[in-house]
Structure 1
């Protein structure tokens, strides 16, 4: 039975001469993979490759047979048209980076409406805002909550934060306990929304160090997570 659902493109990988393997996070069934035959060569086909740019928001009709299978996509259309997310050079670099993080982070083939809504709304905010310097930091920090390892913030005034345990502590107990500037930045980001980001002023070095800390946090809590290959390009553009 075909299902009609909203979906967010995570990645599109060329396969052979003309095919695409598309991973998308769907509202109805979580992460799904679709094989699109001939999409890169056919001018008269149902699908255009431009539909499957990273983080594009779609409404799709698909047959979902089960977990771990390549699914069949019957129809797709853009559900939300971004203004500049794919045309602004800096935002384009940012979404490539975020899409790679999502590809390394999301593995469940089951519905998670709160996570889908978070992604959907976050990318609309990113498209509409001009203040994007700290967006990815708050995005990753808040995403960790939907993935099950949000920092426990009830005692955020304690002396250090244990990345391994995901909690604040009175004193350091292992090599993954952070103090100093990264700790102060973490405290400032906890509990704020995207419309409050302009209050946090960070220089290039501080932003990069905090991002590296967040990526380590992901590595510690998601099996198989690797730093995005796009990180070096992303850092270059944001420098």
Structure 2
């Protein structure tokens, strides 16, 4: 079956001497992995490798066969030409970190246009904005809307939030009830947009603490989720 679809690169892995295995999140088919044969053995192939940088946005022509774990691509085009995501050190660190999160959380081979559009548009926002220090926090929080465990938005005046239940609480019920600075920031982020994100003022220590909390939130609600290996490097670079 021939399929034309937009796609976002989640990961790539060298296979044998000259091939790549690339995992993408596609608009039409969900998560799909591809075998790109011979792409590493020629100068002409080098230009094709550049297409498959992490979180690149592509247009793919796919020969899709449901009984295969690795699909074939007949044509690749860039859908959006980033201006800074792969060249700015801080933004490229965000890209590396978020690609690992998305690779861990997006497992389904099914169409989800609203989720695809969310990832596509927010990456374009990041590429074109210079005030983005809290981007990854809002990105992860909003991602939970599409994964099915966004915090319930009533009783937000309560002084605790339970990570396990995804609810605000009047009093602390267990070890997953959070309060203090993380709670304040959670409420701020739930009430903001990416364009207003510059108004959220926190320091590096607070940012790292909230990131650790939101990653725990993912672990509690997604059995397959693992803390990204790039987290330590990300924190070192970003802070």
TM-score (norm 1): 0.97
Whole-Å separation in 1 of the counterparts to 2:47 and 2:30: 22
Partner of 1:233: 233
Q: 42-51 or 3-12: which moved more?
A: 42-51
* Runs of 4+ that moved beyond 3 A: 44-47
Partner of 1:142: 142
Does 2:97 correspond to 1:86?
A: no
SS of the residue aligned with 2:196? Answer: helix
Written as runs of structure 1 = structure 2, the 5 A alignment for 1:49-198 is 49-66=49-66, 69-198=69-198
Whole-Å separation in 2 of the counterparts to 1:19 and 1:47: 14
Written as runs of structure 1 = structure 2, the 5 A alignment for 1:6-45 is 6-45=6-45
Deviation at residue 42 of structure 1 after TM alignment: 2.4
Q: Output one character per residue of 1:190-211: Cα deviation in whole Å (capped at 9) or x when no partner.
A: 0311001010001010000000
Deviation at residue 17 of structure 1 after TM alignment: 1.3
Say what the alpha-carbon RMSD is for the aligned residues.
1.3
Whole-Å separation in 1 of the counterparts to 2:57 and 2:66: 22
Q: 149-158 or 20-29: which moved more?
A: 149-158
Q: 41-50 or 148-157: which moved more?
A: 41-50
Unaligned runs of 5+ in 1: none
Deviation at residue 72 of structure 1 after TM alignment: 1.0
TM-score (norm 2): 0.97
Whole-Å separation in 2 of the counterparts to 1:82 and 1:202: 28
Whole-Å separation in 1 of the counterparts to 2:66 and 2:48: 26
Deviation at residue 68 of structure 1 after TM alignment: 6.5
